[in-house]
Amino acid sequence: MGRTAKYLTLDEKRKAIQANSTKYAHTTKGCNARNAAQRAAYHKRTSRKGPSDTSIPSLSQDLVELALKPLPISDLFLSALQDDGDVNESGLDQWDLPPPYANSQELSSSNYAVNLVDVVHGRHMRDELKQGRHRMEVHRQKPRFRGVRQATLTLERAAIEGYEAATKLIEEYGCDSSYMSGLMTRHFLQWSARRVYDLHEEIQALTSGRDSYEKLYNSRYCT
């Protein structure tokens, strides 16, 4: 004999399923299942879309060439680098900030521009050495490098954004800037490139391991 149909119509079947679902929802098992589904949905909505990006950014050839451009070796540069007090650095804070710069400053001579660039190079080198040394010394004390690498990657990406912003300013306003403003914008771009390159070296050393990081630290600050 054939099986007797449990429901005579589709409507009866639909109502029965709905009634059973309602009963199940009020049982302990049903409540637990609903809560688990809600937690899973919340986690899906609020969690990161994939893991953190740990890939090392590639550097453009223009950036690398600018970062490796030789620095001056004049007495003014060395004096500012050593901060020996022989150079009056008052009024130079504006060149520590990113461009654009005001066009109001007039050149008294071409020598003034050369001397200014040398002094500001020395100031930037002094500050970068201080900050870089402190950063690497703190990181050397860490028992593990995983978090250090990610933090340095974040710094590098921010530095790349600063470099790209300065590049864009030169492209957009270079022709409209005064000689001094354009000169110092290019100077800032050079130091933006150097900052990116230094951080890039640190990330590569961190990727290779503690010995490579120690070698990089010693090559920068113990020679």
pLDDT per position as a tens digit, 189-217 = 999 999 999 999 999 999 999 999 999 99
Of the candidates 134, 139, 195, 132, the residue with the CA atom closest to the CA atom of residue 165? 195
- Residues 160-177 have pLDDT tens digits of 999 999 898 888 765 556
Residue 16 lies in a domain: no
Residue 217 lies in a domain: yes
Helix axes 210-221, 110-140, angle to 10 degrees: 140
pLDDT value, residue 192: 96
- Residues 114-151 have pLDDT tens digits of 899 999 999 999 999 999 999 999 999 998 888 999 99
Q: How many Cα atoms are found within 13 Å in the side-chain-facing hemisphere of 177?
A: 18
Alpha-carbon dihedral angle through residues 67, 114, 87, 101, given to the nearest 10 degrees = -70
Kindly indicate the confidence band of residue 111, based on its pLDDT and cuts at 50, 70 and 90: confident
| pLDDT above 60 (res 13) | no
pLDDT value, residue 85: 84
Residue 102 lies in a domain: no
State the residue range of the domain holding 67: 63-95+107-222
Residue 192 lies in a domain: yes
Residue 19 lies in a domain: no
Residue 43 lies in a domain: no
Residue 37 lies in a domain: no
Cβ neighbours of residue 187 closer than 8 Å, sequence gap 6 or more = 95, 117, 120, 121
Kindly indicate the confidence band of residue 112, based on its pLDDT and cuts at 50, 70 and 90: confident
Q: Of 14-18, 41-45, 113-117, where does mean pLDDT reach its minimum?
A: 41-45
Mean of the pLDDT values across residues 4-14? 59
pLDDT value, residue 50: 47
Provide the number of structural domains found in the chain: 1
**Cβ(194)–Cβ(128) under 8 Å?**
yes
Residue 187 lies in a domain: yes
Check whether the bond before 99 is cis (ω within 30° of 0). Answer: no
